[in-house]
Amino acid sequence: MTTIKDVAERAGVSIKTVSRVLNEEPHVRAQVKERVLEAARELDYKPNRAASRLAGGRSFLIAHLYDNPNPSYISALHIGAARRCRELGYHLVVEPVNSQDKDLLGLVRRLFATIAPDGILLSPPLSENTEFVESVRQLGGRIALISATHGDEWTHISTDERGASKAIMAHLLGLGHRRIGFVRGHPQHFGATLRYDGYCQSLVEAGLELEPALVAQGYFDLQSGLEATRSLLALPERPTAIFASNDEMAVGVLMAAREFGLNVPEDLSIIGFDDTPMSRLISPALTTVRQPLEAMGAAGVETIVSPDKAPRDYLDFEIILRDSCAPPRG
């Protein structure tokens, strides 16, 4: 096993100098630096991170604490985060938890005591629990939040969900829809609020009335989307399009449409949000919004590793046009 000593010997310098070079600290002549780097390369030297950590340095571990019922969301985040970790010499530790757990903070404390991650990545709903986030922050260590909420410091990684909502509303309005129903998302989810905001603003800007009857509450699950839509379609003058705050509810919308004998998209256009794998599989395939989840996971890692280089702006969303929308009848 090759250690820092071997590299130092080969480069003809002290181990401290090697350490300086490898950690990109200043005060090393370019020439010496080059020599060290070459020696390390030749010996295929990989620092022992347990030793780094023990000596008071970094652990090169980042922990992702999450509680999310949506596997594809988490998976994409992990892929992006883990890839960036690898590029930076870090590793991603996953900690699935129950957000209702009373001792979440104890878990974080134990995490710091045992493996001492250099930072903690939080995604919704954990990242939107300000009290919890504040407590974690006080435990020390860096933090990165994947969340539509915005704090002062830009540790929040997100897309412009309000803007995405407006963009997709523009599509619907462009097709000629004037009566557009909306199924709201989970009340605790900040992004859901922004999506609703976008819906409202779009209507107003288009000079349309915001009809409360066209808005139904949902909770991000299929069943609530189904039930919300039943009430919407039972309206005397029913909507020609329904915008669901996520894909799973959009499937519920589709099912409700079938119950009412409506063809999609001819009789009813449907919009989702998230571009889950399912949205491609159902028929008709769902027009929806894609967030760059892998990039968001990567940005989270970046925020922890080098806060200055982290993105200080929204990451771009994408509107995915598929087969669930058409101009209204007549």
Q: Is 257 in the site for a copy of itself (CB under 8 A)?
A: no
Question: Minimal CA–CA distance to 243: which of 174, 296, 196?
Answer: 196
Partner from a copy of itself, DNA, none binding residue 262, C-beta < 5-8 Å depending on class: none
For tokens 């929806």, the residue is 288
- Does 230 bind a copy of itself (CB under 8 A)? Our answer is no
With beta carbons less than 8 A apart as the criterion, state whether 90 and 62 touch.
yes
Identity of the residue, 47 or 265, whose beta carbon is nearer to DNA in the bound complex: 47
**Closer by beta carbon to a copy of itself, 173 or else 244:** 244
Residue 99 is a binding residue for a copy of itself (CB under 8 A): no
CB of 14 or CB of 306, closer to DNA? 14
Residue 54 touching a copy of itself (CB under 8 A): yes
Q: Which residue number, 39 or 226, has a Cβ lying nearer to DNA?
A: 39
Identity of the residue, 285 or 315, whose beta carbon is nearer to a copy of itself in the bound complex: 285
Mark residues 277-296: x for contact with a copy of itself by CB under 8 A, - for none: xx--xxx-------------
Binding partner of 110, given a copy of itself, DNA, none, CB within 5-8 angstroms per partner class:
a copy of itself
| Among a copy of itself, DNA, none, partner that 32 touches (CB below 5 to 8 angstroms by kind) | DNA
Residue 251, interface with a copy of itself (CB under 8 A)? Answer: yes
Amino acid at 301: V
Q: Is 139 in the site for a copy of itself (CB under 8 A)?
A: no
Could you say whether residue 263 binds a copy of itself (CB under 8 A)? no
Residue ranges in contact with a copy of itself by CB under 8 A: 1, 46-54, 59-61, 63, 71-72, 74-76, 78-79, 82-83, 86, 89, 91-96, 107, 110-111, 113-116, 222, 248, 251, 255, 258, 277-278, 281-283
